[in-house]
Structure 1
Amino acid sequence: MTVARKRAILTADSVPMLPAHVRLIFNEKRDSWVVLAPEKILWPDDISVLILQNCDGARSIGEIARALSKEFSAPFSEILGDILEFLQDWSDRLLIRLAEQSGGKP
């Protein structure tokens, strides 16, 4: 019997992190960032890389959105919505985990 996985619903208070099986590394040969996961290689765009680099298991999505909103002089609500949508998709694909799902430690 298999147990169904409960879908994590991300909010501005969620604290995202990359799970141990997912790595964000810079590929010098291609001069770009790459995400390595079991049986997956992803080439995120520049904005996705900025979001992922901030998923450290210490900052909430709201804090990440606030920082990027200031950096890009963009409306907080727009940035927050875009980040939530992006990270929810990655969470659903098991490429992002919430810090509390890992015992609260990155």
Structure 2
Amino acid sequence: MSPLSVDSRPRVGAGFRLQWEPAQSCHVLLYPEGMVKLNGSAGEIMKRCDGQRSIGEIVAELEAAFNAQGLQGDVRAFVEMAAKQRWLTWS
């Protein structure tokens, strides 16, 4: 996997599936051995990781959606952590 940059296009890793879980009122990441319950911020980032949007586009969408600035560092840190868990990959 190439180093993460603002042009990287993250997507959910093989073997994982992201979905909204109404019973838990949150996004969850399903995999054959179990489930990861995501907090609100993680869910908002993960649902935008569709392999089409770049990191820069994801950050811009989040900043607009939540009327916030300076989210790039937080988004990047989460994506890098998620990649270590194999939840995300990118091109």
- Distance in 2 of aligned mates of 1:87 and 1:18: 10
Q: How does 1:50-89 map to 2 (within 5 A)?
A: 50-75=44-69, 78-89=70-81
**Is the strand fraction higher in 1 or 2?**
2
Q: CA deviation at 1:33?
A: 1.9
Contact 1:16–1:97 (CA<8 Å) still a contact in 2? yes
Deviation sequence 1:18-43 (CA, Å, 0-9, x none): 02311111223323221112434211
Contact 1:23–1:35 (CA<8 Å) still a contact in 2? yes
Unaligned runs of 5+ in 2: none
Residue of structure 2 in register with 1:46 after alignment: 40
Deviation sequence 1:44-82 (CA, Å, 0-9, x none): 11111111110010110011001111122211xx21110
Cα RMSD for the two superposed structures? 1.6
Unaligned runs of 5+ in 1: 1-6, 101-106
List structure 1 segments (4+ residues) > 6 angstroms apart after TM superposition.
Answer: none
Q: Aligned to 2:20, which of 19, 26, 31?
A: 26
TM-score of the superposition, structure 1-length normalised? 0.76
Q: CA deviation at 1:12?
A: 1.1
TM-score of the superposition, structure 2-length normalised? 0.87
Structure ID, larger Rg: 1
**Is the helix fraction higher in 1 or 2?**
1
Structure 2 residue identity aligned to 1:35:
L
Residue of structure 2 in register with 1:4 after alignment: none
Contact 1:90–1:96 (CA<8 Å) still a contact in 2? yes
Identity %: 30
